[in-house]
């Protein structure tokens, strides 16, 4: 890939990321949420109670970031923490009834944001986007272990 194409691709990805996050922040603010907190709420809604380390892995965040999000969501009454059975160092996080109601509102907002983001694109392109973006994310994921070939 030549530099001009690489630059155009990298700039497009950067701008989409920045603008999507800014738009999400604008939509989340009236709900009292900051970007990232919605992902934690949705993860708990999808999976049920999780240990904070599991949330960190699922969200692709550092543990201190998850701890801060959990503290803020706990203070607002949207999640509760309990001690994990068999591991006094681990906390299990779960949605409260208020957190479940907020997650439902976030789902509506998230659907609207997705529709806004892909407006005007062909349906086939929209259908392919999650897989394409997931592959691109995996390509630059610094958390993954290097793949070693037979000759490595």
Asked if residues 52 and 91 have their Cβ atoms less than 8 Å apart, the reply is yes
Question: pLDDT for 127-144, tens place per residue?
Answer: 999 999 999 999 998 766
Report the CATH number at residue 113: 1.10.10.10
Q: How many domains does the chain have?
A: 1
Question: pLDDT for 44-97, tens place per residue?
Answer: 999 999 999 999 999 988 999 999 999 999 999 999 999 888 887 888 999 999
Instruction: Determine the average pLDDT of the residues in 22-28.
Output: 97
Domain assignment present for 88: yes
User: Rounded CA gap, 101 and 103, in Å?
Assistant: 5
Taking Cα atoms as reference points, which of 56, 99, 103 lies closest to residue 74? Answer: 99
Q: Which residue has the higher pLDDT, 151 or 53?
A: 53
Predicted confidence at residue 90, as pLDDT, reads: 87
pTM of the model: 0.84
Asked if residues 50 and 70 have their Cβ atoms less than 8 Å apart, the reply is no
Domain assignment present for 58: yes
Structural domain range at position 129: 37-136
Domain assignment present for 32: no
């Amino acid at each position: 890939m030549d530099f001009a194409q690489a630059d155009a691709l990298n700039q497009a990805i950067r701008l989409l990321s920045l603008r999507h996050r800014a738009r999400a922040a604008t939509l989340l603010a009236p709900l009292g949420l900051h970007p990232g907190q919605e992902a934690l709420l949705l993860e708990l809604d999808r999976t049920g109670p999780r240990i904070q380390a599991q949330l960190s892995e699922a969200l692709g965040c550092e543990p201190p970031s998850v701890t801060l999000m959990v503290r803020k969501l706990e203070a607002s009454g949207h999640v509760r923490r309990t001690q994990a059975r068999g591991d006094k160092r681990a906390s299990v996080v779960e949605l409260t009834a208020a957190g479940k109601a907020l997650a439902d509102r976030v789902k509506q907002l998230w659907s609207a944001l997705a529709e806004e983001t892909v407006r005007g694109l062909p349906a086939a392109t929209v259908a392919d986007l999650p897989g394409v973006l997931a592959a691109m994310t995996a390509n630059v994921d610094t958390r993954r272990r290097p793949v070693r070939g037979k000759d490595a």
